[in-house]
Amino acid sequence: MEDLRRCFIYWMERGVREANYDKLTLIFDMNGAGMSNVDLEYMKVVINTIKTYYPESLRWILVYEMPWVMNGKSSL
């Protein structure tokens, strides 16, 4: 997991520099993904890394085709 975290930090640093320190948009393409191939532990690492080290660098997180089992239920 530590190697994956380092890889993610590398790409965040590269993206921030290439965007001239402007805000970034992170896109997750979940097309065809199911619960068996989604690594929730890694998602926690990604979110905690962004919250800790890049709180002002992220504009949006877009998730494309999120599996229905991961959708939150509305209380309305």
Kindly report, residue by residue over 47-72, the tens digit of the pLDDT.
Answer: 888 889 888 888 888 888 876 655 65
Confidence check: pLDDT of 76 > 60: no
- Total residue count of the chain as it appears in this document: 76
In whole angstroms, give the CA distance from residue 67 to residue 24.
24
pTM of the model: 0.69
Confidence check: pLDDT of 27 > 70: yes
